Structure 1
Amino acid sequence: MVASASKRSKTTSKTAAVTTRKQISPELLSLIATAASAAHTFLLHNEPHLLPSQVLSLKSLISSLPLPPPNTLSVAIPSADWFRFFRMSPDTFSHLLSLISPSLSSSLPSIPPDSALASAVFRLAHAASYKSLARRFNFPSPADACRVFYTVCKAINDKLGNLVDLREDLGRILVGFGWISLPNCCGVLGFGKFDVEGELLGPNGSLLVQALVDSEGRFLDISAGWPCTMKPESILNQSKLFSGVEESRELLNGPFYELSDGNLVPQYVLGDSCFPLLPWLITPYVRHNEEDSFGSAEKEFNAVHSRAMGLVVDAFGRVKARWQLLARRYKEECVDFLPFVIVTGCLLHNFLMKFSEPMPDDSDVECLKEEELLVFEGDVDENGRRVRDMLAEHLILSCLRKTTKELPSCGDTKLIALGLSQLSYANLCVGIAVILRGSIRCLFEIPVHCGGKLRGLLLMEPFIEYEDVQPQSKKIEAKLKGRMQQSVVTQTLAEK
C-alpha cells in the first residue's frame, strides 16, 4: 500500500511538472532561455577566474533547466501567432527559409537559419529594437542581432532579386493594363519617400525611391537611396531603367500596338508630372498658366493617368503597412543601410504577393499620397507628345463606346444616344446623333436641364470636344461638313 501510494505520488508530481512546463508562456520561455544563454556565455568567458565549486554549480543549474535547446523557433512561437509575428504563414516562411538557408548557414555558422530569418522579419514587421531581438531570439548581444539582421537582408536581396524584373512576365503586365484601357503599357513609374531623422537631409529629410509597379501593385524596378534634394529627372537619368531603355535598348523594345483608329503606339510606362515627357515615359497634361484649359480627351487621359499613379502610392503604402520599420523615421547614423532595407521590404512584398499572403489586420499605416514633387519644366519631346495625344484619343473613344446605346430605329434613320455621364463633365450631357445612310449628316442639341444649366454635345475632328453650344444645328453642320469623312467618330458611330 505504501509503495503504491508512493508511486502514485511520484506520478502525480511528474504530471504536475509537465503541466506546469506546458503552461509557461512564450514570453516567459524566451526570458528564461535568454537568462540561460547569458549564464552559459558568462561561464565560457570567466571559468578560469571562478572557483571549481562555482563552475560546477553553474553547469549544474544550466543543464538542469527544463528548456529546449536555445533558439528553437518552433517552441518559442506558437503556430497561431505566426502570421501576426512574421506577416506570413508557416508554409510561406518555410519556403523563404529554404531559399536563403544555405547563404545564412555560411555567413552565420553559430546562428540557426530559422532564428536568423525570424528575427530579421520580426524587426521589419514590428520595428523591434536590436536589444529586443537579442532577448527574444537568444542572441548573445544587440550587436549580434544587428549583424544577423543585415546578413538576412543581404541574403534576401541576393536570392529574391529575380522577383523584380520587368521582362520576367511582360505578357501578364500588358494584359493587366489593357483591362484599364492602357494598351501596351508596361508599368507606372513614381516615387516613395522614407523619412530620416536628423539634419543630414534637411529638417524634413527623406530618401527617395523610384519604383515601377504593375497593375496589381508588384514592383518591377526599384532604384533606392536618392536624397530628397535631388531632382526627379536626375534620378531617372541615373537609374538602370533609363539606361535599359535609352542606352542598351533592352527594355520597352517590343512590338507597337495598333489602336482602333489605326495609330500605332510603342511600349511605354506612365510617369508622374515630375518626369520629362518621352516617347516611352508618358506624363499627364499640365496646365502651365491659369488661361490654359483642357479638352475632354485631355481631361479623360489625366483622370485615367491619375488613377494609374495611385498604384505606386498603394504599393509603397502596403510595404510600409506590412513592414512598420519602414514607416518610421530611420536613424541618421544608419541611413547608409536604409536603401538596402527598403529593397528588402519591396522584395518580400512581391514574394508574399506570389504566395497570396493577406495584409495584416493590425496595420495602422494608411496608404497616404506622398507630398507631390515639382512639375518638370524642361523641353517637351514631340514624339512623346504625339504618343500621349494618341492615347488620349483612344481613351475618349473607348469611354464613348462604353456609354453608347442604341435606340429603336425610326424608318431609315438610326438613332444613337450618347450618354456621357462617365466622361469629364460632372453634369450629365446627352446628345443625339442622326445617322442617315451610314454617314453623319447633322447634329442636334437636345436641351437637358441639369443643375439649372443647359448642356449640349459638339463633335469635332480630330477628337471629340464636349462644350456648351447654342441650338444652331445648321452652323454646327457647316463646321462638320468635309471633316467627318476622316473622323474616327464617324467610322465608330457608322459601324453601330
Structure 2
Amino acid sequence: MDTLEFQNYAGNHLPDDEVTRGEHGAAELCAGTVVLCSLYYIRLMKERRRRQVEQRRRVLRFRRTKARERLRFAVLWTSRVLSSRAVSTTTSVTIKESLGRQSDSNGCPSTLWDSVIEKAFTNFDWLESFRMTKSTFAYLCDQLRPTIEGIDNDMPSAIPVEVRLAMTLWRLGCSCEYRTIERIFGVSRYTIAKVVGEVCEAVVSILTPKFITVPRGEILQNTMKAFEQRFSVPQLAGVIGTFHVAICPPGELTGQYFNTKGWHSVVLQAVVDSDHCFWDLNIGSPGNSSDSQVLLTSELYEWGTEGSLFPNVTRYVGGVEIPVYMLGSRSYPLLPWLMTPFSEQSLPEHSELNKHFSSALSTSKEAYDRLKGRWSCLLKRINSDLSFLPIFVATCCTLHNICESRGDPFQEHWLEEAAEEELEQPSDGEEEEMEPEPMSEEIRDTLANTVWKQNGGL
C-alpha cells in the first residue's frame, strides 16, 4: 500500500476524533519544530555577534597599544632632540631663551613635534589618542600657545605646547592612571599633574567663554528653528539635564556628596542645543541634590526669574504669546521659561505633547553620551580637589563643543565602552511640587493644542 492509499484508508476507517487528534498532533509537532529552529538560530546569531564584538575589541586593543607605542616614541624623540640642543648652547643662556632662538628655524619645538608625529601617527591613532582630528589639535595649540608659554613654571625642562596638550588630552580621553602617562611621556607624575592643571585652566579662561554661552540673535533663531523642525515644538532654545560625576569621598561633608545610587558625586547641570552642544554649565552641587535644587541654586535660575536669560523674542501661537523657553524633565518646576511634560495625560493633546517632549529630551542624553564617550575620564572617580573639579569638567565640556562644532568624527565604539564602564546614574527625582504659575500652564496647554492639531488632531 503506497502513501496515498494509506492516507485514504486512514481517513476512511479511523474515527473522526482520532483523525482530528492526528492532525492537531502534526500541527503541534511542526510548530514546536519551528520554535526550536528559531531559538537555535537566535542563539547562533547571538554567539556570532558576541564573537564579532570580541574580535573588534581585540583589534582595537592591539591598535591602541601600537598607537601608545608610537606616541611614546614621538614624545621621547622630541624631548631628546630638544635636550641635546639645550645642552649644546652656552651655559649663560637659559632653556627658555634657547627655545626662543629656535623659534625662527625649522628645528623649533612645534615644527619638530609636527614632523615626528606626522610620520608616527595614523588618523586612527589621532582619534584614539587625542579624541580629535589633527586640525582641531593644531587649532587648540594656536589658541592656547600664548597663555601656556607665558606660564612661569618650575619644570626641570621646557615642554613644548604640543606635548603639554597631548598629555592633557590623553589624560581626559583615555582615563588612564598617571603612572601610564608617566611611562609614555617620560616625565614625573608631579609634572603631568601640573601640566594638566595648567592646560585645563587655560582652556577654561580662553575657550570656554567663546564656546559655552547663552545663544543670542541669529544663533538663537537657528537653534529654535532646528528644534521646531525636529520635534514640532516652537520657541524651544535648549534642553536641560544633569549628569553625576564620580569623585573620591571628600574629607568634609561626605554625606552631602553621597547620591541615591550609593556613590559620591558632584552634579553637572547643562543646557544643550539642537546640535548636542552645551550653552550653559553649572558644576559642583553635591550628589544628593535633586535636579530642582541644583537649578534653584544656579545663575540660570536667577537669570530666568529676572527675565534676562533670553531676549524678549515672543511668538503668537493660537492667540497666546509664547516666550523663548527651555525643556526639562518632570523633576524640574514648571515655569514660563522652563516647560516640563504633563504628569497626568487625561487628554490626547497632553499625550501627544509628551511624546514630542520625550523625543526632545533625548537630545540632552545624547549630548552626555557623546561627552563621556569622547572624554572617558568622566566615567571614573576623579581624584582631585573639589575646588579644581569644576575646571576639569568644564574643560571636557568645552572641548566637546569644539569637536562637535568642527565636525570631528565620533567613534561608535566609544559609546559601547562608556556603557560598560559607567556607574549607574541616579534617576530623575520626584516631580517638583512647586505651584506652577497660571501663565506656565497656559503656555503648555497652547503648545499641546498646537502640536495636536499639527499631527492630525481635531
- How high is the TM-score relative to the length of structure 1? 0.64
Q: Aligned residue for 2:176?
A: 128
Deviation at 1:245, TM superposition (A): 2.2
**Cα offset, 1:238, TM superposition:** 2.3
Whole-Å separation in 2 of the counterparts to 1:134 and 1:70: 20
Alignment match, 1:455:
none
- 1:86-140 C-alpha deviation (Å, 9 max, x unpaired): 111111110111011111001156321111111101110101222332332233x
In 2, Cα distance between equivalents of 1:103 and 1:167: 27
Residue 353 in structure 1 maps to residue 409 in structure 2: no
**Among 304, 309, 318, which residue is 2:361 paired with?**
309
Deviation at residue 394 of structure 1 after TM alignment: 0.8
Do residues 171 (structure 1) and 237 (structure 2) align?
Answer: no
Say if 1:270 and 1:282, in contact at 8 Å, map to a contact too: yes
Residues 117, 298 of structure 1: alpha-carbon distance in 2 compared, 3 angstrom cutoff: same
The corresponding residue for 2:207 is 160
Query: Which residue of structure 1 aligns with residue 195 of structure 2?
Result: 148
CA distance in structure 2 between the aligned counterparts of 1:31 and 1:213, rounded to whole angstroms: 37
* 2:443 is equivalent to residue 396 of structure 1: no
Cα distance in 2 for partners of 1:165, 1:325 equals: 24
Q: State how 1:361-380 maps to structure 2 within 5 Å.
A: 361-363=412-414, 364-366=417-419, 371-380=427-436
**What is the SS of the residue equivalent to 2:150?**
helix
Letter in 1 for 2:329: D
- Once the two structures are superposed, residues 388-436 of structure 1 have per-residue CA deviations (whole angstroms, 9 ceiling, x without a partner) of 1111111101111xxxxxxxxxxxxxxxxxxxxxxxxxxxxxxxxxxxx
Say whether residues 1:275 and 2:275 are aligned partners: no
Tell me the SS of whatever aligns to 2:239: strand
Q: Which amino acid aligns with 1:176?
A: A
SS of equivalent residue, structure 1 residue 365 = helix
1: distance between equivalents of 2:215 and 2:278? 12
Alpha-carbon distance in structure 2 between the residues aligned to 1:295 and 1:166: 35
Q: Provide TM-score, normalisation by structure 2.
A: 0.69
Residue 283 of structure 2 is aligned to residue 224 of structure 1: yes
Q: What pairs with 1:291-440 in structure 2 (closer than 5 Å)? A: 293-331=345-383, 334-363=385-414, 364-366=417-419, 371-400=427-456
Counterpart residue type for residue 222 of structure 2: R
| Matched letter for residue 266 of structure 1 | P
Aligned pair in 2 of structure 1 residues 253, 35: CA closer, same or farther (>3 Å)?
closer
Aligned partners of 2:241 and 2:270 also within 8 Å: yes
Where in structure 1 do 4 or more consecutive aligned residues deviate above 4 Å? 30-37, 68-72, 367-370
Relative to 1, partners in 2 of residues 1:108 and 1:316: Cα closer, same or farther, differing over 3 Å? Answer: farther
Q: How many angstroms apart in 2 are the aligned matches of 1:134 and 1:173?
A: 43
Q: 1:217–1:127: structure 2 CA closer, same or farther, 3 Å change rule?
A: same
Q: Is the 8 A contact 1:33 1:70 kept in 2?
A: no
Distance (Å, rounded) in 2 between the aligned partners of 1:195 and 1:251: 30
- Read off the aligned partner of 2:376 and give its amino acid letter: Q
Residues 1:31 and 1:300: Cα distance change in structure 2 (over 3 Å): closer
Letter in 2 for 1:316: Y
Q: Percent of counterpart pairs with the same letter? A: 25
Give the secondary-structure state (helix, strand or coil) at the position aligned to 1:223.
strand
- The structure-2 alpha-carbon separation of the partners of 1:133 and 1:34, relative to structure 1 and needing over 3 Å to count, comes to farther
Matched, 1:250 2:308: yes
CA deviation map 1:217-259 (0-9, x unaligned): 1111111111122233232122222222222x32223221122
- 1:295-323: CA deviation from partner (whole Å, max 9, x where unpaired): 11111111111111111111111100000
1:328 is displaced (CA, Å) by 1.4
- Pick aligned residue for 2:247 from 193, 196, 210: 196
Query: Relative to 1, partners in 2 of residues 1:265 and 1:271: Cα closer, same or farther, differing over 3 Å?
Result: same
Task: Give 5+ residue unaligned stretches, structure 1.
Answer: 1-24, 44-67, 288-292, 401-463, 465-488, 490-496
Q: Residue deviations 1:270-299, cap 9 Å, x none?
A: 111111111111111114xxxxx5211111
CA distance in 2, matches of 1:135, 1:108: 25
What amino acid sits opposite 1:116 in the alignment?
Answer: R
- The SS at the match of 1:107 is coil
Taking a change above 3 Å as real, the CA distance of residues 95 and 159 of structure 1, as seen in their structure-2 partners, is: same
1:345 positional shift: 0.8
Measured in 2, the distance between the counterparts of 1:361 and 1:231 equals 31
* Residues 31 and 171 of structure 1: CA distance in aligned 2, closer, same or farther (over 3 Å): closer
Structure-2 residue corresponding to 1:415: none
- Residue 76 of structure 1 deviates from its aligned partner by 5.1
- Offset from partner CA, 1:353-400 (integer Å, 9 cap, x none): 111001135411149976222221221221111111111111101111
Contact 1:232/1:275, CA 8 A, preserved across alignment? yes
1:472-487 matches, cutoff 5 A: none
1:212 to 252, 271, 279: 271
Distance 1:132 1:353, change over 3 A: same
More helix by share: 2
Aligned pair in 2 of structure 1 residues 285, 32: CA closer, same or farther (>3 Å)?
A: closer
Q: 2:223 corresponds to which letter in structure 1?
A: I
1:238 match: 297
Amino acid at match of 2:145: S
Residue 83 of structure 1 is matched in structure 2 by: 127
Which amino acid in structure 2 is aligned with residue 282 of structure 1? M
For the Cα contact (< 8 Å) 1:30–1:138, is it kept in 2?
A: no
SS at match of 2:196: helix
Q: Relative to 1, partners in 2 of residues 1:399 and 1:31: Cα closer, same or farther, differing over 3 Å?
A: closer
Shift of 1:183: 0.7
1:130/1:386 CA distance change after superposition, 3 Å: same
Query: Which deviates more, 167-176 or 111-120?
Result: 167-176
Stretches of structure 2 lacking an aligned partner (at least 5 in a row): 1-68, 88-106
- Residues of 2 paired with 1:234 and 1:377: CA distance? 12
> What is the CA–CA distance in structure 2 between the aligned matches of 1:153 and 1:107, rounded to whole Å?
13
Q: Are the counterparts in 2 of residues 273 and 283 from structure 1 also a CA contact under 8 Å?
A: yes
Q: RMSD of the TM alignment (CA)?
A: 2.8
- Out of 87, 95, 102, the residue aligned to residue 146 of structure 2 is 102
How far apart, CA to CA, are the structure 1 residues paired with 2:385 and 2:400? 22
CA contact under 8 A between 2:320 and 2:443: conserved in structure 1?
no
Secondary structure of 1:229's aligned partner: coil
